Each structure stands twice: as C-alpha cells, then as structure tokens.
Amino acid sequence: MRKVYNFSAGPGMLPEEVMVTAKEEMLDWHGTGSSIMELGHRGLDFATIIKETEADLRELMNIPRNYKVLFVTGGATAQFAMVPMNLMSDKKRADYVVTGVWGKKAMEEAMRFGDIEMAAQSAHRNHLLAAPLQEEWDLRDGIDYIHYVANETIDGLEFNFVPNITEVPLVCDMSSMILSRPVDVSKYGLIYAGAQKNMGQAGITVVIIRDDLIKTPVFLTPTLYQYQTHAVHHSLYNTPPTYSWYMLGLVLKWVKRHGGIPAFYEINKRKAKKLYDTIDASHGFYECRIHPSSRSLMNVIFGLPTDELDDLFVSEAAKQGLTNLKGHRAVGGIRASIYNAMPEAGVDALVKFMQEFAAKYAKG
Ligand code: PMP
C-alpha cells in the first residue's frame, strides 16, 4: 500500500495494481528471462504488446475502423507541430479555439506553418471563465482543420460538449482527459494525447487519425514528423519507447478490468463534485474561477485568499500525505489533479483536509 495520494498534473499517479504488475515483471517478462526493457521492438514478444495495446485502446474508445492508431514520441508538444505540418499542406490555413495555456501554445506553434486565426477563446459568464459555445466559434471558410484542447490542464477548464463540426476536420488535444469520459471518436479528424496523465508514463503519445488525413505533408517535413511514416511502418519506423508502450498497455488493461470508460466517468464525476462542492461550501475561502459548466473533471483548480495561505495549504497537505498540490506557475493557487488512477479515498482525504484547513484559517 502506498503512503501518499499524489495529485500531480503529470506525470501523474499510476494505478497501484499496474505498478505491482510492473514490479513483478521487471526482471522477467512472461518467462522470457528478460525485462521488457531488454527486448527488441521488432521481436515476437514485443509484438504481443503492440497488438494488444492497439486492440485494447480501440475497444475502450470504440475507435472506428477507418482510423489509424499511431504511437509516437515527442509528447503532445510534438503534435503541436505535427498537426500543422501534416494537415495544412492544402489550404495552409487553420483555426484555433483557445481556452488556456496549451491551446495558445498549440496555436503559436502552428503559426510557423501557415495562416492561423483564433476562432474563439474562453468566455466570461457571471465573472467566471467558460468554454465558448459552438455558436461563438467564428470559423473561416477554406481552412484545413480546427483545433481545440478538450481539457486545459493548467487552467482547469474543460469542454462539456463535443463540437459538431462536419465541414472540416476537428483536431483535439485530449492529453489530460483521454479515457476519463466517453468520446465519440467519429466526430474527430484527429485526436492526440500524451500518456503521462491518464494512460501511463511519459515518453509515448497516442494519435488517432482518420485515414483520409494521412496525406502528403508540407514540404521538408522531417520523415519522423510525418503521420504517413508512422502509419506505413505501424509505429515502428524507429525504436519506440518500449517501456512506456508496455506501461500504457498495462494501464489500458486496468481500465478494462475496472469497467471501461463509462465506469471511470461515473467515478470521475463523483470525485470532482466532492471537491467543487467543498470549494462552493467554503463561503469564499476557496475560490474557483471556472464556470460550473466548464469545470474540469481532471484538474480542479482553486485559490485561497492569499499567496501565503496557498503555500501553507500545500505544505500542510503534504505533511498529511497529500502531495503535489501546488498550482502551475502560470496561474498559481492550488491544483488537484484527479486522474483515473486517483482513488476516491484520496479525494475524500483531500476534502477532509480542506474542511479542516478552512475551519482553522478562514476569518470568522
Ligand atoms: N497539452 C496538454 C493539454 C497538456 O496538459 C500538456 C502537458 N501538461 C501538453 C499538451 C504538453 O505535453 P508534453 O509535455 O507531453 O509535450
């Protein structure tokens, strides 16, 4: 049994069951006498992992047959460049919806490759930040794709709807919410997500791409940055991060064993509600700047009345085994990341701590 509840935004907490399996298999994977780290990526043993990982992800997310699943490196940050390099070879224009730090970074990277406009940004509703409704998206004609970030990990803002866009490919960064709630993959042209939050450890990124979007990239796109390279070589063009791939496989099997995405969605809603209810019941001691319609299920962000209290909260919580609660330096405050692997008991412990902390430090 581990001693802390780790609220890190990523790399994040991994399921204990997965860690135990990884530990047991560390020196001898399935009777091979070798660690998975020591096995060649083109061998028959590793081929089992490749095959099962893709099959499990397809099953969990109900990925249609006309989509490829690619396993690549470079994190979601590499996708900020790969998306425009591969999808903007035609009209050289794309629109971005920006609701936080990551959406802005993705847009700025795309600007290096073509004509980029911001189609919408977070809206203010009752002095709180909310995801812009689809009616508020101002899309241009003649664009190659539209990009948005489903859950802004730093800002704690999540879309509670899937945009219904049929004219152009919808591209989505799902790094911090993949596997947390059901998603209709067929609504998207391309989905990408780094593994280190809800799917495993750092080093591997999943790209789910509709077949017709695998096309000739912009001139001089490096071979490794072309989706067609990874599609043709079944994600084995060069040496992949084999251990990260293996861990991703273990996490997917764990999600399947525990009821799949719908089961986690129910737990995730309950976990997030417990924290937001605690914030809302604190008479302003804890403050969340996100409108209830757009509050993230995965990254609960809030602040206390002063920076000193923020710091005290983080250090006192750590003493009770509630670790890594400090908010991102870009926004400050507190961030409780409660990915699938965070047990509900961890959230209950945090709620109890928040109530006790408020009782002690809120001015009467
Ligand atoms: N997009 C989102 C939504 C993220 O949360 C992150 C990482 N926190 C990134 C992109 C960048 O991912 P990476 O560091 O793996 O490149």
Q: What is the pTM of this model?
A: 0.98
CA of 44 to the centre of ligand 1 (A): 32
Q: CA–CA distance from 325 to each of 9, 15, 138 (Å)?
A: 9, 19, 36
What span, in angstroms and rounded, lies between the C-alpha atoms of 64 and 208? 10
Cα 40 from Cα 22, distance rounded (Å): 18
Nearest CA to ligand 1 atom 14: 75
Pair type for strands 145-149 and 170-173: parallel
- Cβ atoms 289, 280 nearer than 8 A: no
176 CA distance to ligand 1 middle (Å): 8
The single-letter code of the amino acid at 316 is E
* Ligand 1 pocket residues where CB is under 6 Å: 10, 75-77, 102, 149, 153, 173, 175-176, 194
Residue nearest to atom 15 of ligand 1 (CA): 75
> Is residue 194 within 8 Å of 183, Cβ to Cβ?
no
d(CA 118, CA 183): 24
The tokens for 129 are 């930040």
Q: How far is the CA of 79 from the centre of ligand 1 (A)?
A: 10
Report the nearest atom of ligand 1 relative to the CA of 80.
10
| Ligand 1 atom showing the smallest separation from residue 174 Cα | 3
Chain segment 4-46, per-residue pLDDT in tens = 999 999 999 999 999 999 999 999 999 999 999 999 999 999 9
For residue 11, the CA-to-ligand 1 centroid distance in Å is 10
Task: Find the catalytic residue in 29, 102, 245, 254.
Answer: 102
DSSP state of 240: -
Is the alpha carbon torsion for 278, 281, 283, 287 positive or negative? positive
Taking the C-alpha atoms of residue 314 and residue 301, their distance in angstroms, rounded to an integer, is: 13
What's the maximum distance between 2 C-alpha atoms anywhere in the chain?
66
pLDDT of residue 89: 85
* Residue 262, preceding peptide bond in cis (omega within 30° of 0): no
Q: Among the options 29, 56, 197, 271, which is catalytic?
A: 197
Query: Is-catalytic flag, 173?
Result: yes
Distance CA 183, CA 84 (A): 23
Residue 71 contacts residue 204 (beta carbons within 8 Å) = yes
Count of residues making up the chain:
364
332 CA from centroid of ligand 1 (Å): 18
Known catalytic membership, residue 197? yes
- Is 68 an annotated catalytic residue? no
To the nearest 10 degrees (0 to 180), the angle between helices 344-361 and 307-319 is 130
pLDDT in tens, the chain (364 residues): 678 999 999 999 999 999 999 999 999 999 999 999 999 999 999 999 999 999 999 999 999 999 999 999 999 999 999 999 999 988 999 999 999 999 999 999 999 999 999 999 999 998 999 999 999 999 999 999 999 999 999 999 999 999 999 999 999 999 999 999 999 999 999 999 999 999 999 999 999 999 999 999 998 999 999 999 999 999 999 999 999 999 999 999 999 999 999 999 999 999 999 999 999 999 999 999 999 999 999 999 999 999 999 999 999 999 999 999 999 998 899 999 999 999 999 999 999 999 999 999 997 6
